[in-house]
């Protein structure tokens, strides 16, 4: 691993490699099954769960429909409370703002709360290039950082690691960047957590600048909300003198009361808990209490592009719970790295193309990284119809190649089909050729489908990718039109 997703191959290539890693598949199967079961248990306790999902979706949709107004209200509320608001159009602008603030305080290190937005923009790497060390304080993010690894899950970034691997990473790397792990470190979870706690404590106590994201931003009160399970977020949000929060513009909700359904949906859908152990809220600066300088960077980075998509805009309702990852049969087998982004799984398969477009091969491969089984929609707490958006994004991928100078094999096949179907004589000729192919394939078939119908095995050439994992029914030896003519509409002959 390189520590960055830049240059990652397209999903089919990356997935094929991941499928060969048996340890990875074992780790993923165990972890996703555990989280799935916990979620199912606590969700079953809520009698009106479906009504709660509808309410959560309505809150987010209402905010998106008047996003500009809510963002202006949020800015006014934050400034009134003593915060400084910055607007960032893209990743480079956001990273430059954060680096500038950090340099202004003469520090060469910051502590961070787990944040998808900062991972999305590559903030750690940008700060490193400026001579600033950014220390992750979430346990799973710390494991990823010390292992020079990449996150593979929205909620549990180190889900692909087991206890033995984590112990080895701590022993090998902790001493290079701070307090070393004890020499007698075991792989017991409590012992590993204790080593991380001791390692991080000195960083918390000396840090002057902290960086966070936000789960929600309440427009009318100027309140940012972070929910977490370890207490590291509370340390980052209260101890340093300066706090910089990088917040995606889609995180806004209109009012404090709008938080109600969200705070009931998120913990059950993410960690399988009835409520989060730590919920931190802050509104600007409070004299003598907490950071005395607060900056909020409101990040676009493709979100307005997604908002303009009538079908895909619903992806901006996402509250990053990761429930869709834990039920996805594709994710469970290949893990998060195959998606080439900090947003893996079903939500990543639509969010990445919506934010970045489908002009590059890696992004264009993601809408196809799904079986369209629909399990993701069934568990999504804000009712994002991921399968529908996937299909729509597949259409966008096809449309993006319509003007290619060298058309793809699929496009050529569709053109040939249109040519044959547009003339009855050509169609009749194609049916006769299909019947001949059917007789040949039936004779040499290696596969039989239910009902006794023959199917071709793996075909060579361009069809190999399709038939390598799917049964291809052999064409019928006689077309329907030929049968109709021969039997006079089924009234003559054997009628079969």
How much is the average pLDDT of 131-145? 96
Q: What pLDDT, on the 0 to 100 scale, is given for residue 445?
A: 55
Domain termination residue (choose one: 277, 304, 331): 304
Domain termination residue (choose one: 304, 331, 354): 304
Identify which of 220, 371, 253 has the alpha carbon closest to the alpha carbon of residue 319: 253
Give the integer Cα–Cα distance in Å for 454 and 450: 9
Q: What pLDDT, on the 0 to 100 scale, is given for residue 237?
A: 95
Is 84 inside any structural domain? yes
Domain termination residue (choose one: 304, 325, 351): 304
| Tokens, residue 258 | 């709008």
Tell me the torsion sign for CA atoms 100, 104, 105, 109. positive
296 and 150 part of one domain: yes
CATH number at residue 176: 3.40.50.10420
428 and 282 part of one domain: no
How much is the average pLDDT of 268-275? 94
Q: What is the CA radius of gyration of the chain?
A: 27
Report the 10 Å Cβ neighbour count for 430. 17
206 and 58 part of one domain: yes
pLDDT tens digits along 65-77: 999 999 999 999 9
Is 330 inside any structural domain? no
Answer whether 113's CB lies under 8 Å from 237's CB. yes
pLDDT tens digits along 146-203: 999 999 999 989 999 999 999 999 999 999 999 999 999 999 999 999 999 999 999 9
Give the integer Cα–Cα distance in Å for 112 and 121: 14
Is 390 inside any structural domain? no
Residue 452: give the domain boundaries.
423-487
98 and 227 part of one domain: yes
Is 447 inside any structural domain? yes
150 and 279 part of one domain: yes
Report the 10 Å Cβ neighbour count for 482. 15
Q: What pLDDT, on the 0 to 100 scale, is given for residue 452?
A: 54
Provide the terminal-to-terminal Cα distance of the chain, rounded to the nearest Å. Answer: 60
Identify which of 349, 323, 326, 302 has the alpha carbon closest to the alpha carbon of residue 14: 349
Q: What pLDDT, on the 0 to 100 scale, is given for residue 2?
A: 39
pLDDT tens digits along 87-115: 999 999 999 999 999 999 999 999 999 99
Q: Give the H or E element holding residue 102.
A: helix 91-104
Is 191 inside any structural domain? yes
Is 74 inside any structural domain? yes
Q: What pLDDT, on the 0 to 100 scale, is given for residue 1?
A: 38
pLDDT tens digits along 383-404: 999 999 999 999 999 999 888 8
Q: What pLDDT, on the 0 to 100 scale, is given for residue 450?
A: 56
| Tokens, residue 324 | 């869709």
Report the 10 Å Cβ neighbour count for 487. 14
Is 320 inside any structural domain? no
300 and 428 part of one domain: no
- Helical ranges in 301-452 per DSSP H: 303-307, 323-327, 329-334, 345-356, 361-365, 375-379, 386-400, 409-421, 424-444
pLDDT tens digits along 469-478: 676 677 777 8
Burial 384-423 (b: 16+ CB within 10 A, else e): bbbbbbbebbbebbeeeeeeeeeeeeeeeeeeeeeebeee
Is 2 inside any structural domain? no
| Tokens, residue 170 | 């701590």
Average pLDDT over all residues of the chain: 91
Answer whether 259's CB lies under 8 Å from 220's CB. no
Give the integer Cα–Cα distance in Å for 284 and 290: 10
Give the total number of structural domains in the chain: 2
């Amino acid at each position: 691993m390189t520590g960055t997703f830049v240059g990652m191959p397209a999903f089919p290539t990356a997935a094929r490699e991941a499928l060969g890693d048996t340890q990875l598949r074992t780790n993923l199967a165990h972890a996703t099954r555990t989280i799935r079961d916990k979620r199912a248990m606590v969700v079953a306790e809520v009698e009106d769960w479906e009504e709660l999902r509808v309410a959560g979706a309505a809150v987010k949709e209402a905010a998106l429909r008047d996003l500009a107004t809510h963002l202006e209200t949020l800015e006014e509320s934050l400034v009134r409370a003593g915060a400084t608001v910055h607007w960032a159009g893209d990743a480079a602008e956001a990273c430059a703002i954060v680096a500038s603030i950090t340099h202004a305080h003469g520090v060469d290190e910051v502590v961070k709360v787990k944040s998808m937005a900062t991972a999305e923009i590559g903030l750690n790497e940008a700060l490193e290039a400026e001579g600033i060390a950014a220390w992750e304080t979430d346990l799973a993010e710390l494991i990823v950082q010390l292992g020079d690894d990449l996150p593979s899950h929205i909620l549990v970034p180190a889900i692909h690691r087991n206890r033995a691997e984590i112990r080895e990473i701590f022993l090998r790397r902790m001493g290079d960047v701070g307090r070393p792990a004890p020499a007698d470190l075991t792989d017991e979870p409590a012992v590993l957590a204790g080593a991380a706690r001791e390692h991080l404590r000195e960083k918390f106590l000396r840090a002057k600048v902290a960086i966070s994201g936000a789960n929600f931003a309440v427009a009318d009160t100027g309140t940012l909300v972070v929910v977490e399970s370890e207490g590291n977020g509370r340390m980052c949000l209260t101890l340093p003198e300066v706090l910089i929060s990088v917040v995606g513009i889609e995180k806004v909700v209109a009012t404090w009361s709008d938080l109600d359904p969200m705070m009931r949906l998120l913990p059950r859908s993410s960690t399988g808990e009835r409520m989060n152990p730590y919920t931190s809220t802050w509104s600007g600066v409070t004299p003598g209490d907490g950071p005395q300088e607060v900056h909020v960077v409101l990040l676009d980075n493709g979100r307005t592009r997604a908002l303009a998509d009538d079908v895909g805009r619903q992806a901006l309702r996402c509250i990053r719970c990761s429930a869709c990852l834990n039920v996805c049969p594709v994710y469970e087998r290949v893990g998060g790295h195959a998606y080439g982004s900090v947003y893996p799984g079903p939500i990543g398969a639509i969010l990445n193309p919506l934010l970045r477009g489908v002009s590059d091969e890696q992004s264009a491969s993601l809408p196809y990284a799904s079986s369209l089984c629909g399990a993701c929609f069934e568990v999504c707490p804000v009712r994002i119809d991921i399968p529908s958006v996937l299909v729509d994004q597949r259409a966008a991928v096809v449309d993006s190649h319509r003007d290619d100078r060298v058309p793809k094999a699929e496009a050529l096949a569709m053109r040939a089909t249109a040519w044959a179907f547009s003339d009855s004589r050509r169609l009749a000729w194609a049916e006769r050729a299909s019947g001949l192919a059917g007789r040949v394939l039936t004779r040499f078939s290696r596969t039989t489908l239910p009902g006794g119908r023959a199917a071709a095995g793996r075909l060579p050439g361009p069809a190999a990718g399709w038939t390598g994992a799917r049964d291809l029914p052999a064409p019928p030896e006689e077309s329907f039109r030929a049968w109709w003519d021969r039997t006079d509409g089924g009234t003559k002959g054997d009628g079969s």
